[in-house]
Amino acid sequence: MPPKSKRLEVKDFNTENLKQKSSLYKTPYFDVKIIFNNKGKFACVVKKNILNSAVLRNKVRRIVYSVLVSVFKEESYSVIAYPRKQVLNTPYKTLIEETLTIKKEIENRK
pLDDT tens by residue, 13-33: 665 655 667 888 999 999 998
Provide the pLDDT for residue 1. Answer: 79
Taking residue 13's Cβ as centre, other Cβ atoms within 10 Å add up to 13
Provide the pLDDT for residue 19. Answer: 62
* pTM, entire model: 0.86
- CA gap 36, 22 in Å, rounded: 6
SS3 of the chain: helix, strand, coil, percent, to 5: 50, 20, 35
Which regions in the chain score pLDDT beneath 70? 13-20, 110
Please list, in sequence order, all residues whose beta carbon lies within 8 angstroms of the beta carbon of residue 11, skipping any fewer than 6 positions away. Answer: 17
